[in-house]
């Protein structure tokens, strides 16, 4: 059996007219059909979705313990992320120092 992570949607246009209140947003019909094809035939049916949006795992239909799966998340930080975090923190620190310095200088002139 296969598990999928997808982002499918319809948009409601008018609550009063129930016959035509769902709009096919972002090729929803084709995306739903692709989900069906992915479940039935596997990864080789990827067309609209990307590799990042698709996750395939195995579940045991008799167990139930593994029915709620999600794609593994890579939590290993990258050097660029670390550098950006440090730079953002230093910018925040400098900004606070400047603001406090301005407040002190404003109080001296009065």
DSSP 12-76: E--SS-GGG-EEE-SSHHHHHHHHHHHHHH-GGG-SSS-GGG-------TTT-TTSS-------P
Assess whether pLDDT exceeds 90 at residue 91: yes
The pLDDT value given to residue 95: 95
Q: Tens digit of pLDDT for each residue in 37-72? A: 988 888 899 988 888 888 888 888 888 787 787 888
Domain boundaries, the chain: 1-73, 75-110
pLDDT at 20: 61
């Amino acid at each position: 059996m296969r598990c999928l992570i997808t982002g499918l949607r319809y948009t409601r246009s008018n609550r009063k007219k129930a016959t035509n209140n769902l709009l096919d947003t972002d090729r929803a019909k084709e995306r739903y059909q692709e989900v069906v094809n992915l479940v039935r035939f596997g990864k080789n049916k990827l067309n609209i979705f990307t590799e990042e949006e698709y996750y395939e795992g195995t579940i045991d239909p008799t167990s139930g313990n593994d029915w709620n799966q999600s794609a593994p998340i890579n939590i290993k930080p990258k050097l660029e992320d670390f550098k950006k975090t440090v730079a953002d923190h230093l910018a925040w620190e400098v900004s606070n120092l400047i603001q406090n310095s301005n407040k002190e200088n404003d109080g001296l002139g009065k």
